[in-house]
Amino acid sequence: MDVEKLFDLNQNIEGVLIYNGGETSNDPSFFYFTQLARGLFESSYVFLTRKNLKVITSQLEAETAKSEDLDVEVFSSGKQKDELLKEVTKSTTFIGINYSGLSYADFLSLKEKLPDKEFIDVGDSISSLRQVKSDREITKLKEAARIVSVVGDEIPGMLKEGMTEGELAAKVNYEMMKNGASSTSFDTIAAFGPDAAEPHFSGGSRKLKKGDVVLVDFGAKYQRYCSDMTRTYFFGKPDKEMQEMYEVVFSSQDAGFKAIKSGENGKVVDAASRKVIDSSKFKGKFIHSLGHGVGLNVHDHPALGPQSDFFLKENMVVTVEPGVYVPKRGGVRIEDDVIVTKGGCQIITSASRELQIV
């Protein structure tokens, strides 16, 4: 993690304090700086200076933190936690915090505990750092991508007439865990027939029948890092329009891949992919952005969209996911994760993208 750069971007700060409140105010930046792959670390702090990183955590997480060779202070009560916080920050006055990672209640509590400190929002700088992945992060992202790729190639064998969408989602989740995922990146989407026309479908009661399109959007977490992949299959031979829809989306994704490179504007990439769909009979049926960043969050940052002025950098990891959606008929989306390179991109999800009829 390029901590020095964070201080270079914010030269008026003497330290950075990240609070991970827990279930209701989890800040992934805590895990970005510590790279802790296990544990919850609720109500824990990480305090950074240019030369040091210190973790303040409870006895519940002490052994986990120490196993990563981190500088750790352990508390056994709320009072002791507050005393440790004052001690580690005593030599600093101007402290950077991540406003977007704090609840308002936690922010007020922090001000009460450290009334002599000046807090400065460094959230945008942290977000900028997190967009470009380190070698260590890329290794984890590639493993998360490998897991979904293995499962993607297994999905055609899972499809059985009469199964429900929820049943398929459960099978996909099981196989991800079986292949090494620590959890899913998000709630798996399995959509049959007309349900595939809803990009963020949730439900799961429709039963699979011959002639249905099957859209599955799923992701695995590996050591907290996410993957995100979508594949569309056909349960029985599709009609001519659905097959044409698949071919158009496939070509649109290829155009997106070819447009990606370090220094390119994300909206230019989006436009290259969108042009393929809008030049077909499905014009106007691509109703979302082409892609987003992937990292500790499955939607790590904006990346490829018609409205966002976002310049790609080497070692960013983004999705490329064009789709066509026709209400009451169905939809097709194909999504892959790619690493931005100097002259193009490296696709790290490898499940077959070819049209598959089961």
Report whether CATH 1.10.260.40 matches the domain 3-131.
no
- Tokens (6 digits) for 184: 């899913």
Give the C-alpha separation, 153 to 158, whole Å. Answer: 10
Give the C-alpha separation, 82 to 94, whole Å. Answer: 18
Strand-pair partners of 217: 189, 230
CA 59 to chain centre: 30
DSSP 210-262: TTEEEEEEE-EEETTEE--EEEEEEESPPPHHHHHHHHHHHHHHHHHHHH--T
SS3 (DSSP) at 57: strand
Place domain 135-347 in its CATH homologous superfamily.
Creatinase/methionine aminopeptidase superfamily (3.90.230.10)
Strand-pair partners of 19: 45
Q: Where in the chain is the domain with CATH 3.90.230.10?
A: 135-347
Amino acid letter, residue 267: K
DSSP summary character for residue 194: G
Give the C-alpha separation, 186 to 285, whole Å. Answer: 25
Provide the pLDDT for residue 24. 74
Burial class of residue 171, CB neighbours in 10 A (0-12, 13-18, 19+): buried
- Tokens (6 digits) for 174: 């099981």
Q: How many CB atoms neighbour CB 185 within 10 A? A: 23
Give the C-alpha separation, 177 to 183, whole Å. Answer: 7
Cα angle: 259, vertex 263, 269; to 5 degrees: 30
Q: Where in the chain is the domain with CATH 3.40.350.10?
A: 3-131
Phi, psi of 192 (to 5 degrees): -110, 145
Strand-pair partners of 164: 207
Provide the pLDDT for residue 23. 76
- For the four alpha carbons of 228, 341, 179 and 162, in that order, the dihedral sign comes to positive
DSSP 274-336: HHHHHTSTTTT---S-SEEB-SSSSS-SEEE-SS---B--TTBEEEE--EEEETTTEEEE-BE
pLDDT in tens, the chain (358 residues): 678 899 999 999 999 999 999 777 889 999 999 999 999 999 999 999 998 999 999 999 989 988 888 999 999 999 999 999 999 999 999 999 999 999 999 999 999 999 999 999 999 999 999 999 999 999 999 999 999 999 999 999 999 999 999 999 999 999 999 999 999 999 999 999 999 999 999 878 999 999 999 999 999 999 999 999 999 999 999 999 999 999 999 999 999 999 999 999 999 999 999 999 999 999 999 999 999 999 999 999 989 999 989 999 999 999 999 999 999 999 999 999 999 999 999 999 999 999 999 9
- For the chain, what's the residue count? 358
Give the C-alpha separation, 287 to 35, whole Å. Answer: 36
Q: Are 310 and 267 in contact (CB under 8 A)?
A: yes
